[in-house]
A = this chain, B = another copy of it.
Amino acid sequence: MANDSVLMPFKDRDHAHQSCLEKALDQAVKNCESSGVRLTPLRRRVLELIWGSHMPVKAYDLLDQLRDEKIGSAPPTVYRSLDFLLEEGLIHKLQSLNAYVGCGEPLKHHTSQFLICRDCGEVAEMDDPDIQQVLSRKAESLGFQVLDKTIEIQGLCEKCIAG
Contacts and interface: CB of A to CB of B under 8 A. Distances in A.
Contacts of A113: 135, 138
Contacts of A117: 144
Given A95-B96, A95-B152, A96-B95, A147 B118 contact: yes
A154 B158 contact: no
A92 B109 CA distance: 30
A16 interface: no
Main secondary structure of the interface of A (DSSP, over half): mixed
B115 A142 contact: yes
A145 B154 contact: no
Interface in A123-143: 124, 126, 128, 130-131, 134-135, 138-139, 141-143
A142 B6 contact: yes
Contact of A143 (B96, B141, B161): B161
A121 interface: no
Given A130-B134, A131-B134, A150 B141 contact: no
Contact of A154 (B1, B5, B148): B148
Interface of A: 1, 3, 5-6, 9-10, 95-96, 113, 115, 117-118, 124, 126, 128, 130-131, 134-135, 138-139, 141-158, 161
- Those 6 A-B pairs whose CB atoms lie nearest each other, nearest first: A143-B158, A150-B152, A147-B155, A95-B95, A148-B154, A145-B156
